[in-house]
Amino acid sequence: MSGLSSKHVVSGLRSRIGTPLADARGSDRSSDREGASSLKSVTEHVKRATKRPARRRKGYILLLGALTTLMILVPATGLAIDVGLMYLVQTQISASADAAVLAGARALSRGVDDAAQHANAEATANTFFQADFPPGYLNTTHLSVVSLATTDDTYLRSVTTTASVDVPLIFMRLFGVSSVSLHSSSTATRRDVNIMIIMDRSGSLANSGSCMPLKAAAVSFVEKFAEGRDYLGLITFATSSRVDHAPSTTFKTTVESTLNTVVCTGATSSAQALWQGYQQLVGLNQQGALNAIVFFTDGRPTAVTANYPIKSTSTCTSRTPKLGALTVGYSGTVPQNSMGLYLQDAPAQPFSSDLTLIASRTNCRFASNQSQVSSDVQYAPTTDYWGNSLTATGYRSTTTSGAGLDIVSGQNVENFSINAADHAALRIRRGDPDPSHASQTLPGVVVFTIGLGSVDDVLLKRMANDPSLSPNPVAAGRQGRYVYAADATALDLAFTRVASEILRLAK
């Protein structure tokens, strides 16, 4: 050892030490690679381990979804289909029952007595039902339809249709329910109606060629109501008026026969005819029924019946007040002067003239010249023979003369004739007392007006209390309707519309 230098010792040591250190560094790098490989392997193993339960969960979800579809969704879908079918059938059976009773109620006008009308109504209702809902509709079975018509003691008649049917089910059979029974019942009521037709037969209708179409339309109107239950009467008017037929339950033959013989001639004494119509309804005294007046005219009111005072300078032998109809003389369509005095009560149809002078005319100037009536008559009283005011509604302005109204001006006569008709309709709608029946009243009367050609639309709306007129200064009582016919070809439709409205209100 003493023979070695220190240099050799250090070099030897370096040689000895250096080799293991290098080997150690190489070994560490190898170990790092092996560790990374192992970590990757473990990670992949973990991933594979976590993926296997996910696939197993997906299988459970699919199975659960299939069971849910079979146990819940399919029955629910089936139930929806069956319920939809039941709803469809129920809707149709209800609509068919509604249509049936309405048709049955309309058929109550057919037949000579109550029993026949009931039978017609029931048969019609059943026929209409089965037309809308035929046997076997949507595979239904055991269809049963029963219609019954009845009448009570308050003038109210009804038609009731009751129907039932079995509806086959599709999916609900799985639960032991093969069909379900559905039912529907509908009732339509129709109140008995009392109608007075107040029909203008003035000469202007003949001049326009409208007299024949008017009579045909009125006959068709009469046919729509039921003998044995409904009451119907007729008043025709021009200068004079006549209660041709008091309201009766046997009216078709008599009223239609008179209508077909009507002669159109004369002026237009509207107020008198209106109040006479009201008197007829008051006389029936059936407040539980639908009481209606159907008023037709083709022009403005032009006449008033009153007790007219005679001038002290008149040449009349008797100067006591004279009862008669005062009317207007025209030049074309322009009022010129007053005319009269004429009989206010018309003879039975047919007749040739409606300008017959009153009997009490001896030595009067109007006896030989009707346009000279203002030489004998002092003025027109402010109230006509029937209690209608010639001034109260104020629809047309009037000129006074002495204690009454001027009759020299034809326009003034026309104006107070219009006011009288306006007031008569107002009194009727209010149900005013009728002196001819011990001041008995009849509330609830409905007035319908039909106008042809050149008429005062506003006046006719006022008279009917038509809802389209707003404001209506004389609004009172029940609302009726005004129907306009532009020419004779529209008359049948106009009368039909009024009949439909009456039947609607009677329900």
| CATH number, position 333 | 3.40.50.410
Same domain, 411 and 324: yes
Check if the beta carbon of residue 390 is closer than 8 Å to that of residue 420: yes
Same domain, 169 and 253: no
Q: What are the residue ranges of helices labelled H in 285-379?
A: 365-368, 373-376
349 and 473 within one domain = yes
Pick the more confident residue, 50 or 466: 466
d(CA 8, CA 195): 153
**Residue 175 resides in a domain:** yes
Residue 390 pLDDT level (bands cut at 50, 70, 90): very high
Q: Which domain holds residue 229?
A: 192-507
CB atoms within 10 A of CB 34: 10
Percent of the chain with pLDDT over 90: 72
Query: Based on the domain organization, do 207 and 100 belong to the same domain?
Result: no
Edge-to-edge strand order for the sheet containing 179-191? Answer: 141-151, 156-168, 179-191
pLDDT the model gives residue 271: 98
What is the DSSP code (8-state) at residue 377? B
Q: Alpha-carbon distance 204 to 201, whole Å? A: 8
Residue 175 sits in the same domain as residue 204 = no
Q: Which of 80-89, 93-102, 146-155, 248-257 has the lowest mean pLDDT?
A: 146-155
| Paired residues of 328 in beta bridges | 338
Q: Is residue 298 part of a domain?
A: yes
**Residue 334's beta-bridge partner residues?**
331
For residue 31, tell me if it sits in a domain.
Answer: no
Give the separation between CA 269 and CA 303, rounded to whole angstroms: 4
pLDDT tens readout for residues 310-334: 999 999 999 999 999 999 999 999 9
Residues 171 and 221 in one domain: no
Indicate whether 340 and 235 sit together in one domain.
yes
- What residues does 324 pair with on adjacent strands? 306
Same-domain check for residues 255 and 152: no
Query: Residue 329: which residues within 8 A CB-CB, separation 6 or more?
Result: 335, 336, 337, 338, 339, 370, 371, 410
Domain boundary among 190, 207, 241: 190
Number of domains present in the structure of the chain: 2
Indicate whether 350 and 246 sit together in one domain: yes
Residue 4 lies in a domain: no
Q: Confirm whether 236 is domain-assigned.
A: yes
Q: Which of 174, 190, 206 is the last residue of a domain?
A: 190
- How large is the average pLDDT for residues 3-10? 42
In angstroms, what is the C-alpha Rg of the chain?
Answer: 48
**What is the pTM for the complete model shown?**
0.72
Distance of CA 349 to the CA centre of its chain: 36
> How far apart (Å, rounded) are the C-alpha atoms in residues 149 and 108?
9
CA atoms lying within 13 Å on the CB side of residue 391: 12
- Which domain-ending residue is among 137, 170, 190? 190
Quote the tokens at residue 467.
């809802």
The one-letter amino acid at 66: A
Considering the domain architecture, whether residues 238 and 172 belong to the same structural domain is answered as: no
